[in-house]
Every structure is written in structure tokens, then in C-alpha cells.
Structure 1
Amino acid sequence: MPKPQGLCIDISGVLHEGGEVVTGAREAIAKVREAGVPCRFLTNTSRKPSRAVLDQLRELGFEVDEKEVLTAPAAVARYVKARKLKAWLLVHPDIEEEFEPASFSDADAVVVCDAGERFDYRRLDQAFALLMEGAPLLAVGMNRYFKASDGLHLDAGPFIRALEYAAGVEATIIGKPGEVMFQEACDSMGLAPGDCLMIGDDVEADIGGARKAGLQAALVKTGKYQESDGARAAELGAGVFDDIAAVASHWLKVQ
């Protein structure tokens, strides 16, 4: 594959794990900056608004500009606004500020992100009712689980699948592994997807999604990586590296 001209980098599991910086991650980003390579930081994290994601990166010592951070909830909000939809939200309370929520009686679309404790029967049943009336199902991503300091936890994917099955609909995925966010990231750097490299720890959302969108991809063995993911990454035509520092070291030597 040709040397990538831009990088798309997952945040949680690649740059930090549970709020602790991955060894060598700060130095890797600094080397990329020195090389003058544009970056976009992509995350499906849907328990923090965009401003909080940016603040955390800066607190962890990463020099990041606001325009470089692309969060899936913000991408969903832009999608909803562009289509003049009135969204009923099944999301975490901390990210409601990204949206202009509609009441249940006025809504004509359903938005599902990682809602945490809000994934209860009443709210899931309300979402189901709207879907049965024809409302589209818009989702942040299909991540099966995420890794926190105390281990793995269910993400939004399993609940989205349940709603799809119950209502006989297919969700429109705006975040990873959907193509929308990857394309948005590449466009914002003025690059074609084939000229960009996605670095992530989720073999399906990051690597599978990136490859489908036409990007090159590198899977790192940090974050949620599992040993069985290596074979899947190979099937997808992606490289496998110990961490982002290893990716940067390899990539900066590619001529």
C-alpha cells in the first residue's frame, strides 16, 4: 500500500486506557506532528460531549485542535439537523447537549447512542413504538462492548440489534463502522480515503469500517484488542502492531 498522507486515530484504547496514557502515545503523536502529517481523532464514545473529549485529550498531554476531534454523537447530530428530523433520544444524559431533542409525541426519528443505565424496558419500548410507526433508526455505532478500568462493558450495539430485530428495520450507522464519519474525516483533511490510515483497537468498528470506506488500517494490541482479532485483521488486509508508537515508527520509515 502507498504511504498514507493522513491519519485517522481512534482515541480510547489507542491513546489512553481508562484515562491513563498508553505508553509512547504522546511521543508518537509528537513525531507525526513533526512530520507535518494531518490527523483526525475519531471516537464512538457516547458518554461524553465533544468538548469533554477534547478537554480530556489536552489534559492527558496531547496537543489537539478542536477541528481535529470527530465524535460519533456530534456526527449523528449533524446528520439529524441536515435532514430537519426531530429526534427522540435514547442516549446518555451527558451528551444530550449535542442534540435538539424532540418529545416522544413530536419525534419522527430515533437516535440511539450508549445510554448506559437508560437502556431500560420503558425507553427501549418507546423507541420500538416510534420505529413501528416508521421513524428511522439512527445509531452512533455498532460497538459490541467497550473497555473501562474495571473491564469490558456492553456498548450500544447489542441494544441497536435488539431494536432492529423487534421492529424489522435496519439502523443507519453514522459513527464507526459506518462510512459517514470516515469520509467526513478524510474530506476535512482534503484527502481521498485511500491516502489515509486508520489506527484503532476495535477490529470491526475501526478496522472493518475503515477498510470498507476505502482507508488503509492498522490494528493495535492495546485497549479492547483480543488475540483472535489478529486473524480477522489479516483477512481485512490490515497490519497489526503492538501500539500506536509501533505504528508511527513503522509508518515514518515507509518511503
Structure 2
Amino acid sequence: MLLDLAGVIYDGGTAISGGVDAVARLRRAGFSIRFVSNTTRSSKQRVLDHLAAIGLIAAKADVFTPAQAAREWLLRNGRAPYLLVHPGLEPDFHELPSRDKRAVIIGDAGETLTYAVLNDAFRELTAGAELLALATNRTFRDADGGLSLDAGPFVAALEFASLKRATVLGKPSPAFFLSALASMNCPPEKAIMVGDDAEADIAGALRAGLSGALLVRTGKYRRGDEKRFDPPPTATVADLAAAADWIIARSGPD
């Protein structure tokens, strides 16, 4: 089973009611769980610390992030990163070997994403760098409760200007879902995804071959999201607690 984090288990620094207990119920029911997050503002260790602070203990191997996938890509392909990411994510790219060839890695860089740094990234691309997108989400639920621009619009801008297609490393990339499932020896046809993003979480998981995907009405969910993207969710439920009820009632353990 794959669970999104932001918007499903917590919103900002606050746990969503019933979410931590829902994870505990799913574990007691015998389900293996991986947390698949498109966060590009926090290192994996910070994500783990945040989960512990709200009472949810997870091992490092239980959390999959795009930065992890990007680091592995850089090592496999012999490239050094040109980082266009939030400062909070930079620790996930420490201690990489020096390389002559580069790859622009773009995520949600927040207020550091200025014209100057975007233009520098564009020049890296025209000089031969590859383009890696940690995520292509359109929006995210910000700390003030409103929706803010995520990395996707800026990925599209660099693609348009450089005439290069980004390699997408996070959701909705099928490889991201399948890698998380492979870590617990779970075939996609026996897996279910729970998320608040009808495009990246739900449609992405179903395109990757998962047997089901539940959309929760928390986080970035907006009324009508369940009808905006294809394929549509298997079911739309109030929150993770309701999703756990649905899953336990209809499925056996993985």
C-alpha cells in the first residue's frame, strides 16, 4: 500500500485528524506501507522527524522521495547536480562525486526561485545539461491554507525555453510508484494508493498499474477533482481514516 504524506497524514505542521491512527489500523490489519511523497522542500530526514513529531514512526526505507530518485540517477549517469531546489532539500544531495557533466534538478524552490536562477538553469541546459524534474505538481496547499504554485509550471517553462523534455522522477512517473512497491515485493496489481492529488497521486498510480487509488477530500483536494483527470479514482472518501475503513473492508493484507 502506498500513502501520500502532505495533505493526507498532515497539513503543514499539523496532523490531519485520524490519520496517524488510520496508519496504525492498516498496519495491525497486516498491510505493508510505503509513504510516497513529492515533497521537494524537505530532506528525507526532516520528513522522518516530522512524522515522529506527530506520533508516526517510520523507518528511512519506508519513505520514498523524488530527491532519493534524483541522487540515484546522478550516480548511475555520471552527472553532477545543478540544484534549483529549496534550501531545505539540499542535504539530500551532499557528498556526491564531482563530475564534468551536469544535470539541472528542479523542485519547488520557494522564494529562492528568481528569474536569475531560472535563467542560469536555462543556460546550463543550453550548454548540455540534462533536465530532471523532482515533481510536476501544479499546486500545493501552503502554510496559509491557500493553494500555491508548485514545481510543475517552472518545469514547463524550462522545457519550453530549452526545447528539452524533463525526466520526471517523482509522482506521476510510473517508475516512482513501481520502485516503492518493489521495495516490499508487492506487485502493482495488489497495491492501492491513497492521495489528495487527483492527477499525480491517483491517475498516476492507476496508469502505473495499481489495482486501486483512493482520493481523499483533504489537503489540496478541490470539489470536482475526482472528475478532472483520467483515469478517475477508484473511490473518493473524506480522509485517510475513511480510506482505511474502505480498504480494510474490501481487501485482505498485501
Give, in angstroms, the shift of residue 145 of structure 1. Answer: 1.2
Q: Deviations over 1:45-71 (max 9, x none)?
A: 111100000010011011212210111
Quick one: distance in 1 between partners of 2:231 and 2:170? 22
CA contact (8 A) 2:133 2:168 kept: yes
Whether 2:29 is the aligned partner of 1:35: answer yes
Quick one: distance in 2 between partners of 1:184 and 1:239? 24
Equivalence for 1:4: none
Give, in angstroms, the shift of residue 18 of structure 1. Answer: 1.8
Quick one: distance in 1 between partners of 2:139 and 2:27? 31
AA paired with 2:151? A
Equivalence for 1:189: 184
Equivalence for 1:242: 238
CA contact (8 A) 2:207 2:231 kept: no
AA paired with 2:20? R
Equivalence for 2:50: 56
Change (3 A) 1:141 1:24: same
Q: Deviations over 1:211-238 (max 9, x none)?
A: 1111121100000001120213674352
Aligned pairs (5 A) from 1:124-135: 124-135=118-129
Quick one: distance in 2 between partners of 1:67 and 1:206? 20
Stretches of structure 2 lacking an aligned partner (at least 5 in a row): none
Give, in angstroms, the shift of residue 133 of structure 1. Answer: 2.5
How many percent identity over aligned positions?
40
With normalisation by structure 1, the TM-score equals: 0.92
Equivalence for 1:199: 194
Change (3 A) 1:97 1:234: closer
AA paired with 2:3? I
Equivalence for 1:73: 67
Equivalence for 2:226: 230
Equivalence for 2:78: 84
Secondary structure of 1:194's match?
A: helix
Q: Which moved more, 1:73-82 or 1:54-63?
A: 73-82
AA paired with 1:162? A
Secondary structure of 1:175's match?
A: coil
CA contact (8 A) 2:78 2:101 kept: no
Give, in angstroms, the shift of residue 250 of structure 1. Answer: 1.2
AA paired with 1:54? L
AA paired with 2:11? E
Secondary structure of 1:225's match?
A: coil
AA paired with 1:92? H
Q: Which moved more, 1:175-184 or 1:50-59?
A: 175-184
Quick one: distance in 2 between partners of 1:30 and 1:234? 31
Whether 2:126 is the aligned partner of 1:137: answer no
Quick one: distance in 2 between partners of 1:149 and 1:231? 26
Quick one: distance in 2 between partners of 1:153 and 1:101? 32
Quick one: distance in 1 between partners of 2:229 and 2:244? 18
Equivalence for 2:248: 252
Quick one: distance in 2 between partners of 1:233 and 1:253? 26
Secondary structure of 2:228's match?
A: helix
Quick one: distance in 1 between partners of 2:20 and 2:147? 25
Stretches of structure 1 lacking an aligned partner (at least 5 in a row): 1-6
